[in-house]
């Protein structure tokens, strides 16, 4: 990947802020030869009270700080996980309508996680960092690492699925990539923002073990391993206190136990009280204005510091944490120019989309498409002609380019295969009405299909399907209220706009039917799955979505994505459903995480439920065989496991080798199995490779609420290895000793 090193001339920073000085008289805060902490000490000593206060609250929708007198620029933040958001007003969310704010749209979180490829995600992070430099953004408000507790959460598409280990690995890679490119990551939303319904108020009641073992690990890894320099305090409450000003989460766990040295940035408008924000660990209050002086960490805080209510040291600590971000991005010394919309960035985006695609079903090897035998293709479905990068609210990107599924298929099919398109259905455009109802949701469907329109569109699609060799139905969800969208949750798992009926009708007239799902969360397939030979979970794919899809459909790329979230048979099967309204969406303002540790596959495995498609699942155009599991070394509290994986088919392909650990002897309940290591390995036809999987002490530990430490109860632990959480052909045991971590 190209990355221009900045040519930093001495004069460039000598003239910053109107200062003219000789090298010898450089003030310490400007002297790049000094350690950053010394520079920050010096800068803080020069700041007035009101300049300090200016650094700890917003001065625009996505900016804070700036001390022109000393040449300290604004700190520019921006959304969001899938690319650099378009420019919005200084005091509003309205787009400014510029022409220089197009960016590369990377695929969103669920897609990213489905690659199971941290190395690739690190390069995606680097590309995003380069785009941030080019757009002058210091902090990218990403990644989002909230766990998919319920498949209904409208923002699951923006997150990394249901498993803390997978989420942690992907998050750490993303953060490293971004921060390697002079851009600060802001891991979000800390913590327990697992539903969008009532996100601003809901109080989460979760037991300490589930908190530590399911909901916090990705944040902890982001801090301890990723070295993330900022974290976003969530909207919701935890134990009666808003997360962006929560003493336990911010002061005790994050800054105390984990030693976080960066800044806590509030979600936009997530601060509710000056004292709590000031004293409980919030370092930067953000929001969209317009009266920034009235913010809790603005005038009211300043007055409190002046009259001694809040110690100056508290303010100085916040300023220091904010300045660490600023210095890390190089702006005090001259930052890289970065690069925007380069072919390299588009290539990374495409690779992520390709590697994420999960082949759910492929009876009779219907896929990949053989263009020499398939002379005509009917592409059906509205998602074939939609673009998605702009949707979903804060995570939207004004994409420099975005290829639709239809465009990708047309381009790849070439002129020997006739491609026809028929839309088949039309998604209702959902419009939210305020105020919301008691469950936090209200909606009116502005443009639902009339029964006549539904029949006409479906009939036309059926006619096209009948007269084609192959049918590719491209459906799923969209980024809109009550589907895959910030601020609302889904009501159920159904495919909207009568898509299921249409799929059944298509299957009845043409057995060569491929269903492609473009969405970020599981949908029900019970009604049609049996009658459809091939199903591809394509997710949202970013700028190169259509091309990525075509390359998998036509076999240029062998699918290697794996599900980062269980696809249940129905909503009734999901862990939160069992607990009724108190478990989701909550009653009397409180949501009770009654399922405790049993989130995602931990629930289905422990309760012996057969999901539609399990966590970690995904087919390939080739096949793989596993053999020779060996525990090659086991220290006191860690182990190294090896196995051999062979490509037994006739195409090159990549396999995700997944390792799950089971603790059968702990004195506390433990899930049936938990993912603790994985590796993605590419194999030529007939090739074998030995795959090594490392298990650290945490792989065996649980969080003891008695000692408040991670604890390993020594003994034999079962390890199982294979290509999906429900297909684990290899097993063995690892002996480890007692440990308190
Ligand atoms: C979202 C954040 C986002 C922020 C700024 C909030 O509503 O929850 O994820 O970064 O807005 O756009």
Residues of the chain with pLDDT under 50: 1-22
Q: Is 101 a catalytic residue?
A: no
Strands 203-205 and 237-238: parallel
Q: Is the beta carbon of 159 within 6 A of some atom in ligand 1?
A: no
Between the CA of residue 66 and those of 49, 457, 467, what are the distances in Å?
A: 13, 56, 65
Between the CA of residue 211 and those of 205, 206, 214, 263, 294, what are the distances in Å?
A: 10, 6, 6, 22, 34
Q: Which of 214, 103, 298 is nearest to 670 (CA)?
A: 214
Measured from the Cα of 235, ligand 1's closest atom is: 8
Cβ-proximal residues to 499 (8 Å cutoff; 6+ apart), any chain: 381, 425, 475
Q: Is the beta carbon of 254 within 6 A of some atom in ligand 1?
A: no
Token digits of residue 427: 């998604």
Query: Using CA atoms, how far apart are residues 694 and 702, in angstroms rounded to an integer?
Result: 18
For ligand 1, atom 12, name the residue with the nearest CA.
Answer: 394
Neighbouring C-beta atoms of residue 510, cutoff 10 Å: 18
Q: Do residues 520 and 473 touch, judged by C-beta distance below 8 A?
A: no
Query: What pLDDT score does 16 carry?
Result: 43
Measured from the Cα of 234, ligand 1's closest atom is: 8
110 C-alpha vs ligand 1 centroid, how far in Å?
17
Q: Is the beta carbon of 80 within 6 A of some atom in ligand 1?
A: yes
Candidate from 63, 139, 141, 270 with most ligand 1 atoms within 8 A of CB, to mutate = 141
Query: What pLDDT score does 145 carry?
Result: 98
Q: Do residues 238 and 191 touch, judged by C-beta distance below 8 A?
A: yes
Q: Do residues 533 and 512 touch, judged by C-beta distance below 8 A?
A: yes
Q: Tell me how far apart the terminal alpha carbons of the chain are, to the nearest angstrom.
A: 39
Using the CB atoms, write b or e for 32-50: b if 16+ within 10 Å.
eeeeeeebbbebbeebeee
User: Out of 267, 485, 489, 713, which one is annotated catalytic?
Assistant: 267
Q: Is the beta carbon of 394 within 6 A of some atom in ligand 1?
A: yes
Query: What torsion, rounded to 10 degrees, do the Cα atoms 582, 583, 584, 589 define?
Result: 50
Cβ-proximal residues to 284 (8 Å cutoff; 6+ apart), any chain: 55, 56, 57, 58, 64, 230, 263, 264, 265, 266, 297, 318, 322
Neighbouring C-beta atoms of residue 306, cutoff 10 Å: 11
686 C-alpha vs ligand 1 centroid, how far in Å?
48
650 C-alpha vs ligand 1 centroid, how far in Å?
46
Q: Is the beta carbon of 318 within 6 A of some atom in ligand 1?
A: no
Q: Name the E strands within 400-485.
A: 418-422, 430-431, 444-445, 470-476
Which helix or strand (DSSP H or E) is residue 463 part of? helix 451-466
Q: Is the beta carbon of 62 within 6 A of some atom in ligand 1?
A: no
Residue 200 is given by DSSP the state T
Query: Using CA atoms, how far apart are residues 378 and 373, in angstroms rounded to an integer?
Result: 15
Phi/psi at 396 (5° precision): -75, 150
Query: Using CA atoms, how far apart are residues 249 and 238, in angstroms rounded to an integer?
Result: 9
405-413 and 545-553 helices, crossing angle to 10°: 50
Cβ-proximal residues to 15 (8 Å cutoff; 6+ apart), any chain: none
Query: What pLDDT score does 430 carry?
Result: 77
Candidate from 157, 394, 488 with most ligand 1 atoms within 8 A of CB, to mutate = 394
Q: Do residues 84 and 132 touch, judged by C-beta distance below 8 A?
A: yes
Cβ-proximal residues to 298 (8 Å cutoff; 6+ apart), any chain: 53, 57, 285, 292
Residue 125 is given by DSSP the state H
Query: What pLDDT score does 6 carry?
Result: 37
Q: Is the beta carbon of 569 within 6 A of some atom in ligand 1?
A: no
Cβ-proximal residues to 308 (8 Å cutoff; 6+ apart), any chain: none
Q: Is the beta carbon of 174 within 6 A of some atom in ligand 1?
A: no
Query: What pLDDT score does 183 carry?
Result: 98
Q: Do residues 203 and 192 touch, judged by C-beta distance below 8 A?
A: no
CA 499 to mean position of chain CA atoms: 27
Residue 544 is given by DSSP the state G
């Amino acid at each position: 990947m190209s990355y221009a090193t900045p040519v930093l001339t001495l004069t460039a920073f000598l003239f910053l802020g109107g200062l003219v000085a000789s090298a010898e008289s450089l003030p310490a805060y400007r002297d790049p030869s000094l350690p950053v902490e010394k520079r920050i000490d010096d800068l803080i000593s020069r700041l007035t009270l009101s300049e300090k206060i200016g650094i700890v609250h917003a001065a625009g929708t996505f900016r804070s700080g700036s001390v022109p007198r000393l040449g300290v620029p604004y700190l520019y933040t921006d959304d969001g996980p899938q690319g650099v958001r378009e420019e919005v007003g200084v005091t509003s969310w309205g787009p400014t309508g510029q022409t220089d704010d197009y960016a590369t749209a990377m695929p969103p979180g669920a897609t990213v996680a489905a690659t199971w490829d941290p190395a690739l995600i690190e390069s995606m992070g680097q590309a995003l960092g380069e785009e941030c430099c080019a757009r002058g953004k210091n902090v990218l408000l990403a990644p989002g690492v909230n766990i998919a507790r319920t498949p209904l959460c409208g923002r699951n598409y923006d997150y990394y699925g249901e498993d803390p280990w997978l989420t942690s690995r992907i998050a750490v890679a993303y953060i490293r990539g971004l921060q390697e490119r002079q851009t600060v990551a802001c891991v979000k939303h800390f913590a327990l923002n697992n539903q969008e319904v009532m996100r601003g108020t809901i109080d989460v009641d979760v037991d300490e073990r589930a908190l530590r073992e399911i909901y916090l690990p990705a944040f902890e890894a982001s801090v301890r391993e990723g070295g993330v320099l900022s974290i976003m305090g969530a909207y919701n409450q935890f134990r009666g206190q808003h997360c962006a000003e929560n003493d336990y989460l911010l002061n005790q766990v994050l800054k105390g136990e984990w030693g976080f040295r960066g800044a806590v940035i509030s979600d936009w408008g997530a601060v509710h009280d000056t004292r709590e924000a000031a004293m409980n660990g919030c370092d930067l209050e953000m929001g969209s204005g317009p009266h920034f002086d009235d913010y809790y960490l603005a005038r009211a805080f300043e007055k409190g510091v002046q009259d001694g209510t809040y110690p100056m040291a508290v303010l100085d600590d916040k300023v220091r944490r904010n300045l660490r971000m600023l210095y890390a991005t190089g702006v005090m010394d001259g930052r890289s120019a970065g690069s925007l919309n380069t072919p390299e960035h588009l290539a990374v985006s495409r690779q992520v989309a390709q590697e994420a695609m999960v082949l759910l079903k492929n009876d009779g090897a219907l896929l990949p498409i053989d263009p020499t035998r398939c002379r005509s293709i009917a592409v059906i479905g509205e998602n074939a002609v939609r673009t998605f990068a702009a949707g979903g609210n804060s995570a939207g990107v004004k994409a420099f380019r975005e290829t639709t599924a239809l465009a990708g298929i047309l381009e790849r099919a070439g002129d020997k295969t006739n491609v026809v398109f028929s839309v088949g259905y039309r998604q209702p455009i959902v419009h939210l009405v305020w105020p919301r109802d008691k469950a936090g949701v209200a909606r009116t469907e502005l443009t639902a299909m009339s029964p006549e329109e539904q029949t006409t569109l479906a009939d036309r699609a059926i006619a096209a399907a009948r007269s084609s060799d192959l049918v590719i139905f491209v459906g799923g969800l969209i980024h809109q209220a009550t589907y895959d969208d910030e601020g609302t949750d889904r009501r159920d798992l159904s495919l909207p706009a009568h898509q299921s009926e249409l799929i059944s009708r298509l299957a009845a007239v043409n057995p060569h039917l491929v269903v492609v799902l473009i969405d970020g969360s599981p949908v029900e397939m019970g009604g049609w799955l049996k009658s459809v030979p091939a199903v591809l979970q394509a997710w949202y794919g970013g700028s190169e979505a259509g091309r990525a899809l075509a390359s998998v459909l036509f076999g240029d790329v062998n699918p290697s994505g794996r599900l980062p979230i269980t696809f249940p048979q129905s909503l009734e099967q999901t862990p939160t459903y069992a607990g009724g309204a108190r478990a989701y969406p909550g009653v009397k303002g409180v949501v009770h995480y009654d399922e405790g540790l049993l989130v995602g596959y931990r629930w289905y495995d422990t309760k012996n439920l057969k999901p539609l498609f399990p966590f970690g699942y995904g087919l390939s155009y080739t096949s793989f065989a596993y053999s020779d599991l060996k525990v090659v070394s086991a220290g006191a509290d860690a182990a190294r496991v090896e196995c051999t994986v062979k490509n037994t088919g006739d195409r090159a392909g990549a396999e995700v080798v997944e390792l799950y650990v089971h603790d059968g002897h702990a004195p506390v309940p433990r899930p049936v199995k938990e993912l603790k290591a994985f590796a993605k390995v590419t194999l030529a036809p007939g090739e074998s490779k030995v795959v090594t999987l490392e298990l650290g002490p945490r792989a065996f530990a649980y969080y003891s609420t008695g000692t408040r430490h991670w604890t390993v109860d020594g003994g034999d632990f079962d390890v199982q290895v294979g290509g999906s959480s429900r297909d684990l052909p290899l097993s063995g045991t690892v002996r480890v000793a007692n440990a308190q971590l």
